[in-house]
Structure 1
């Protein structure tokens, strides 16, 4: 594939109905004066991606009881923009095998290319056995799992986001490709150590503007972790133009920016390169 890939590996399809169904997220957006970004349409996403030069977006709903969003709704959206939007499944692990069936259906029928888990929604850290059937299914389906790591921002306990839990997951499921979302902040150094330790564990920078990257994360990205860090935004929290301009301004060695913005994503998430 000769196309230069600029990929967002962590984007959420959160129309207004999502914020109505999950008030804690609306409270967060309201607190940081982001109300306007809680009412974006798919046309807004397409326009912002075009303005920023993004050509691959991994898009997911967020599964929780009472949500009107579903993997099917995401499938309807990405079907209209198949070269830009790629589906990422979201399931509630507390539903047992129903979650596994939903994941398999999303991959086999909707052509989704990853699974996203937000452990704080389920009050279980990612090394809990409740997730194991999903991890096994991801291995069988040949897709990565993206796991929110770090503090929650919304008013939920932070404990499920500690990177240390991923140590167990990576050890017990060495065939599973794991992408730790949100850079593990404020435990980024701990996550860096785990990404160095485990060949199957990667970091994405969603939720953090490049101008705010810690020196430790920049050092990792620019040296022995150059193949381990993926660009993400946490859309719709931020647009693309600003973060990508900031990424381009980072003092990175030759070739690192290209890997960070898309090359690593194409390798770690094979569906991007198909």
Structure 2
């Protein structure tokens, strides 16, 4: 079973104006709007040979401030395709008590399996003690947290999303499953550092295509994680759809598996066993075996 662990959904009336303006500026909004619809996501999964997708909103705060409505939207998508979609909740770091209550609703009533946080968009440091009640709830109830890390949009500060901040969280919550989105892009060394230290930290591979094309950036990131932390064994397949395509992501990983070795070595960057772990076993273990 192949699971794409990083898929964005949304409706224009629930998205923050800056993200819509960003895509409209690039003349990509009409295409994106279709892609993030329920049918658009299913079409992408079918075309890519992906069995299930982890879904969550493209942004985190609608203009009316009713952020809980984002979780209702995700629940609507899951209700339409319950065999294909796995819902992740969002919370509001500025309303922590309400966020814990919302997590209880999302877990017990909506059936969500995890949480997505975007420190840059939501403007909080992931190691802030104010977020500890959210982390405690997720640890107690075996809900993994996917943290955006590394580069974000020009309208948001990246100081909030440095992966090294998760070192503090992992030390305090050793049984909380955490996923470093994008392998920390471009802070691969820091991602490798904390993956070496903490067995409860995973990473996803998405959005590492770079500006030169091909698989060069992805190979570099994988090499750092493998050489320093043996971290390729704890990676999850992810596309960052709709900005990136799941089929392209799978093709890139397969190409690296078959054609690329570590520097000055005959050892593959991704072994056959590791490829199976990335594309199937790890995400299934985190999300479905709980």
Q: What's the TM-score once normalised by structure 1's chain length?
A: 0.89
Q: Show the counterpart of 1:196.
A: 196
Partners of 2:157 and 2:101 lie apart in 1 by: 29
- Is 2:63 aligned against 1:57? no
What secondary structure sits across from 2:137 in the alignment?
Answer: helix
Q: Compute the displacement of 1:226 (Å).
A: 3.0
Judged with a 3 Å threshold, the aligned counterparts in structure 2 of structure 1 residues 240 and 90 are, in CA distance, closer, same or farther, namely same
Partners of 1:39 and 1:80 lie apart in 2 by: 16
What secondary structure sits across from 1:88 in the alignment?
Answer: strand
Count of paired positions = 266
Q: Which has the higher contact order (CA 8 A, sep 6+)?
A: 1
- Is 2:8 aligned against 1:12? yes
Q: Show the counterpart of 1:37.
A: 32
- Is 2:145 aligned against 1:127? no
Gaps of 5+ in 1: none
Partners of 1:65 and 1:17 lie apart in 2 by: 7
- Is 2:220 aligned against 1:215? yes
Give the alignment partner of residue 24 of structure 1, picking from 18, 27, 30.
18
Partners of 2:197 and 2:27 lie apart in 1 by: 39
Q: Write out aligned runs for 1:134-213 (5 A).
A: 134-209=134-209, 211=215, 212-213=217-218
Judged with a 3 Å threshold, the aligned counterparts in structure 2 of structure 1 residues 34 and 238 are, in CA distance, closer, same or farther, namely farther
Residues 89-126 of structure 1, C-alpha deviation per residue, up to 9 Å, x if partnerless?
01112112111010111011111000111111332110
Partners of 1:29 and 1:243 lie apart in 2 by: 21
Partners of 1:34 and 1:189 lie apart in 2 by: 33
Bigger shift: 174-183 or 216-225? Answer: 216-225
What secondary structure sits across from 1:110 in the alignment?
Answer: coil
Q: Compute the displacement of 1:192 (Å).
A: 1.2
Q: Show the counterpart of 2:256.
A: 250
Partners of 2:113 and 2:208 lie apart in 1 by: 24
- Is 2:258 aligned against 1:260? no
Q: What's the TM-score once normalised by structure 2's chain length?
A: 0.84
Q: Compute the displacement of 1:219 (Å).
A: 5.4
Judged with a 3 Å threshold, the aligned counterparts in structure 2 of structure 1 residues 200 and 80 are, in CA distance, closer, same or farther, namely same
CA contact (8 A) 1:25 1:154 kept: no
Q: Compute the displacement of 1:239 (Å).
A: 2.2
CA contact (8 A) 1:15 1:39 kept: no
Q: Compute the displacement of 1:65 (Å).
A: 5.0
Gaps of 5+ in 2: 258-269
C-alpha RMSD of the superposition: 2.1
CA contact (8 A) 1:208 1:233 kept: no
Partners of 2:143 and 2:176 lie apart in 1 by: 8
Judged with a 3 Å threshold, the aligned counterparts in structure 2 of structure 1 residues 213 and 70 are, in CA distance, closer, same or farther, namely same
Q: Compute the displacement of 1:17 (Å).
A: 2.9
Q: Write out aligned runs for 1:217-236 (5 A).
A: 217-218=222-223, 220-221=225-226, 224-236=230-242
